[in-house]
Structure 1
Amino acid sequence: MQEINRERRTIAAVATAVAPGQGGIAVIRLSGPDSQRAVRAITSFPGEQVWESHRVLYGHVMAADGLERLDEVLVLLMQAPRSYTAEDVTEIHCHGGVMAVQRVMARVLEQPGIRRALPGEFSQRAVLNGRLDLTRAEAIGDLVSARSQRAAQLAMAGVDGGIQRRIKALRECLLDQLSELEARVDFEDDLPALDGQALLRALQSVRDELLQLVADGERGAVLRQGLRVALVGRPNVGKSSLLNRLSRRERAIVTDRPGTTRDLLESEIVLEGVPITLLDTAGIRSTDDAVEQLGIARSHDALASADLVVLLFDLSEGWTAEDQALRERIPADVPYLLVGNKADLSDAVAPADVHLSAVTGAGEEQLVEALLERCGAVTDGSLLLSLNQRQADLARVAAAALDRSEQVAADGLPWDFWTIDLREAIHSLGEITGEELTESVLDRIFSRFCIGK
């Protein structure tokens, strides 16, 4: 990694989620040379407790007057380099919720030399100090934000170093090839002839592996980010009933009266390991009701923002001109499924991707399978590693550079022409692993992390 300025000032942040009435404890983390001094200054410890690394101490955080106890706490000491950031780290474990955490945090920030941490700054320091490599740090961020068990498994593969090892091995292969080429550029008359076709095959093999990693990253992105699926149809075709069935709870009011849903309802679910946000839209029709018109306008917006549209129609009424008009409203770049609902009320056969009864559940399994397949979100055990967007973009750049070697070989150009694209590929892979980085790139990466991580 290029030399980057390391700030030595001590930082502090709440490292756990904070919400009213949620969480029995909260953790306030400090990292830097003044972390222990700051905590000693605000905490009273009864008895003879030994301050040494990786011990837990008991005490109370005191108000500035030294009389009022703000909270009963445990303090965990971790001296450098045996900590998350490889700096001196001190954690205050206080009561959860909101007010207790805020009062303790305010006392911490009152201490000289302490400032509030920026998003992802703890992880950034861990990378700068050599405690973590960049891909592991990014995987920790993915693990924290994982919305399904499968996404957490993929993130953990990154935390364990799977991405780092794979990319580093490919980069070292390219470095070996580059050293061979540079030797020929300088001392070709003194060395055995280099087999250009064998070299080209080696570069193409690395390129193919990179492209496979990019494809796996696209599949993994669905698991990390999830899908937005809009349920669209005429009033009273069963959109709300389907939402409730897939959500396994009564999220939407269901009646026989058309136009019951007046607003856009959202429900978070997980189907086959894929996080999905279901959007129950207002039934689209002509109406004079001002409130319903607002809901219909939001339904149109949902059509454009969805990753997939499920267009429901009533099998008992058949495919109507209004259904056709709705299908024509779906943007051309948004995939959709035609789902005939109320199969329990009709034996009619109508062209549809799935026949369903949202009331009885008949056809639900087929709907889930078709939904995931249409979005390209079908996952299996073959997906072991998943690059994030930054990593995948760099892998594409490296693969494109290696791809250009074919033209260089076809044109019969000298070896030094081969080294140009090879160096570009090596540099791009180094940016993935953190071996070729600048301070601005690091700042951009970690700014997407949560504060306290």
Structure 2
Amino acid sequence: MYIDDTITAIATAPGEAGIGIVRISGEKALDIADRIFQSNKGKKLSQMPVRRMTYGYIVNPDTGEKIDEVLIYYTKGPYTYTKEDVVEVNCHGGIIPVKKILELILRSGARAAEPGEFTKRAFLNGRIDLAQAEAVMDLISAKTDKGFDVALDQLDGALSKKVGGIRQKLLDMLAHIEVSIDFSEEDVDEVTLEYLVHKSIEVEKDIDNLLKTADAGKILREGLNTVIVGKPNVGKSSLLNALLRESRAIVTEIPGTTRDVIEEHLNIRGIPLKIIDTAGIRETEDIVEKIGVEKSKEFFNKADLIIFMLDISTELTKEDLQIMELLQKKKALILVNKIDLPQRVDLKEIKELIEDKKIIKISLVEEKGLEAVEEAIEELVYRGEIKAKDRLLVTNVRHKNSLERALKSIREGVEAINRKMPLDFVEVDVKNTWEALGEISGDTVAEDIIDHIFKNFCIGK
């Protein structure tokens, strides 16, 4: 795709730093650089070897004033990130140097790049597909090593290759269908139907396997929204401190010490958690504590994971039973704390009240059970269907939606084949599946969706 204008932006984060980078991309990149750059020997950038860093100065061509001492290089397309001619100016970091150089470049014929426009050009010029472009931002925003590894694999094309393989199977199916429709008088229908049944089930399984990774992938990308709940003085703040390995929350023996929510981010076995220590959920006349309890209930309803804490040394209360009732439809772990004290709670009773929830006995005073808590969180995220070491995960909600539509279409196709409906009907379902999967790579995605995706990028990327 031919793009005739030249764009520029600051490629480094704002603020004081050792180095600032201003990037130029487009057919006028070298001409603009020649206008504003002089080497220490008075040469222009076009007189220097390509891809070699050159020392010199950015100079205002109208006044001859030196703007900054820089290192600069030029790379000719298509061997660049955008597949266009690219110039990068490495100047002193800080707000003033990069701003002055950017303003000079804009006055020399470039326009300010829109958010994500460098990556958008890489996509439009065929260097990367849309899934790889989205992986760029996932790399930048990765919260854990695991999330970074998954994003790096997607940038390398792992998801695109997998989806591309499924789309090729669908193209083969469409070819068989076309032959059968065009030569319906020939005796090929039975062979084609048997082939289509086999391939449709194979495609359905491939798509379903990718979808099974979506929940874990979303968590790696956005974090697991986790809320610690329980009655006052059960050990919620102590658990938060133990997981953080620091004293972040105030811990006392006085019930109701935590009157507001405390939010922290942490990494448990490569899984990013946004963990919230809530005020105890109980009836109270204290106005401030009452506000905290209401906030606790609000976070409870929005949570991806609930960690419900019980005190094994005290009998179950009305508050405990109320929370247990709310937990029935939530993903939750039950932590029974203070096992170092005499037991006054029957664990069998808890199991009967809360079905299908993992119960873990811990002692925060003696630091027992924390490893089991971390293991349980890992198991809940990966659900036994995905191994923690797997790096091909669907991390993007847009990709998940496309896969869900593709799965729906191929299942309708399987149903049409089994009902021996005309091949024209099957063709529609197979083509819909192919197009839905094409949205992931950008082959069949609408232009407005492309624009929306890149608007969420950083300026300069």
- 2:127 maps to 131
- 1:224 maps to 221
Q: Is the aligned partner of 1:370 residue 2:376?
A: yes
Q: Is the aligned partner of 1:354 residue 2:360?
A: yes
Q: CA RMSD in A?
A: 2.7
Q: 1:363: Cα distance to partner?
A: 0.7
- 2:314 maps to 317
- 2:205 maps to 208
- The change in CA–CA distance for 1:70 and 1:242 in structure 2 (over 3 A counts) is farther
Q: Which stretches in structure 1 are left out of the alignment for 5+ residues?
A: none
Comparing 209-218 with 385-394, greater Cα deviation is found at 385-394
Aligned residues: 445
* Selected match of 2:423 from 399, 415, 420: 415
* Selected match of 1:385 from 386, 392, 399: 392
| Runs of 4+ with deviation above 6 angstroms | none
Q: Is the aligned partner of 1:93 residue 2:101?
A: no
Q: 1:438: Cα distance to partner?
A: 3.1
Comparing 333-342 with 189-198, greater Cα deviation is found at 189-198
Q: Please give the secondary structure, in 1, of the residue aligned with 2:212.
A: helix
Amino acid corresponding to residue 440 of structure 1 in structure 2: D
* Selected match of 1:425 from 428, 433, 443: 433
Q: Which stretches in structure 2 are left out of the alignment for 5+ residues?
A: 351-358
Contact 1:303 1:331 in 2 (8 A): no
Q: Please give the secondary structure, in 2, of the residue aligned with 1:419.
A: helix
* Selected match of 1:34 from 6, 25, 28: 28
Amino acid corresponding to residue 446 of structure 1 in structure 2: F
- 2:442 maps to 434
| Percent pairwise identity | 36
- The change in CA–CA distance for 1:180 and 1:281 in structure 2 (over 3 A counts) is same
Q: Please give the secondary structure, in 2, of the residue aligned with 1:418.
A: helix
- Give the TM-score normalised by structure 2: 0.87
Q: 1:43: Cα distance to partner?
A: 4.2
Q: 1:40: Cα distance to partner?
A: 4.1
* Selected match of 1:239 from 216, 236, 240: 236
- 2:299 maps to 302
Q: 1:231: Cα distance to partner?
A: 1.4
Q: 1:347: Cα distance to partner?
A: 4.4
Q: Please give the secondary structure, in 2, of the residue aligned with 1:338.
A: strand
Comparing 25-34 with 275-284, greater Cα deviation is found at 25-34
Distance across 2 between alignment mates of 1:67 and 1:408: 75
Q: 1:413: Cα distance to partner?
A: 2.6
- 2:9 maps to 13
Contact 1:308 1:375 in 2 (8 A): no
Q: 1:98: Cα distance to partner?
A: 4.3
Contact 1:220 1:386 in 2 (8 A): yes
- 1:175 maps to 171
Contact 1:64 1:107 in 2 (8 A): no
Comparing 197-206 with 388-397, greater Cα deviation is found at 388-397
Q: 1:227: Cα distance to partner?
A: 0.4
Contact 1:307 1:335 in 2 (8 A): yes
Amino acid corresponding to residue 303 of structure 2 in structure 1: A
Q: Is the aligned partner of 1:165 residue 2:161?
A: yes
- 1:248 maps to 245
* Selected match of 1:446 from 445, 451, 454: 454
- The change in CA–CA distance for 1:73 and 1:112 in structure 2 (over 3 A counts) is closer
Q: Please give the secondary structure, in 1, of the residue aligned with 2:183.
A: helix
Q: Is the aligned partner of 1:186 residue 2:182?
A: yes
Amino acid corresponding to residue 262 of structure 2 in structure 1: L
Amino acid corresponding to residue 304 of structure 2 in structure 1: D
